[in-house]
């Protein structure tokens, strides 16, 4: 149990049978009446955000989230197989659990998988991944003067807007959080 006065951003709690992460909190001490804590909580399973007010000193359950380093091995249709880096056990997750992360998965990539009482509740990819461009329009001399961009399809199937100078076969770095092109890697 943890007191609501000890809340901090990122703390995970159990409330009404759900797991929430504290996004924002504010201690309020009005001139009249008892102090309270106003919070914004994100449901870890669904991703929805709710606002909730607690009385000062109220206690809630602390959710112990276990984070494991795992390696992505392969996919079989809509199922993705990961291996625990410590005990070599395999874990299979559906594309629904991974969300947009499937667009950036490459074989042997290391990820962090979050577990709560044996249930997978989240997958954390590296902030940036290096992908090879497999399809894009050719660049022409003078294209860079406008500073525009063009679509490029990468080896994992994700399409990223890249500068005109990027060509097929180039290795680019892509931000997995926003899906944006970061830079072209040295050839």
pLDDT surpassing 60 at residue 145: no
User: What architecture does CATH give domain 128-184?
Assistant: Beta Barrel (2.40)
Above 90 in pLDDT, residue 174? Answer: yes
The residue length of the chain stands at 187
- Residue 154 buriedness (CB in 10 A; 0-12 / 13-18 / 19+): buried
Q: What is the mean pLDDT of residues 149-161?
A: 92
pLDDT band at 101 (very low <50, low <70, confident <90, very high): confident
pLDDT: which is higher, 139 or 125:
125
pLDDT of residue 37 exceeding 80, the answer is yes
The CATH number of the structural domain formed by 66-124 is 2.40.50.140
Fold of 2-62: SH3 type barrels. (2.30.30)
Question: Do the domains 66-124 and 2-62 match in fold?
Answer: no
Q: What pLDDT score was predicted for residue 143?
A: 55
Domain ranges of the chain: 2-62, 66-124, 128-184
- The contacts of residue 182 (CB under 8 Å, 6+ apart) are 128, 172, 173, 174, 175
């Amino acid at each position: 149990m943890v007191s609501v006065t000890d809340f901090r951003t990122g703390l995970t709690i159990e409330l009404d049978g759900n797991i929430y992460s504290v996004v924002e909190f504010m201690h309020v001490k009005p001139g009249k009446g008892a102090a309270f804590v106003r919070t914004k909580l994100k449901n870890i399973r669904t991703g929805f955000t709710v606002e909730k007010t607690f009385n000062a000193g109220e206690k809630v359950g602390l959710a112990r989230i276990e984070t494991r380093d795992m390696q992505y091995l392969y996919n079989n249709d809509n199922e993705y197989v990961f291996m625990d880096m410590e005990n070599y056990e395999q874990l299979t997750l559906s594309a629904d659990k991974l969300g947009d992360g499937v667009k950036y998965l490459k074989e042997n990539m290391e990820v962090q998988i979050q577990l709560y009482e044996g249930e997978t509740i989240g997958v954390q990819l590296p902030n940036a991944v290096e992908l090879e461009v497999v399809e894009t329009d050719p660049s022409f001399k003078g294209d860079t003067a406008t500073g525009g961009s063009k679509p490029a399809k990468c080896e994992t199937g994700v399409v990223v807007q890249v500068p005109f100078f990027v060509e097929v076969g180039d290795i680019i770095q892509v931000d997995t959080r926003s899906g944006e092109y970061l830079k072209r890697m040295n050839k």
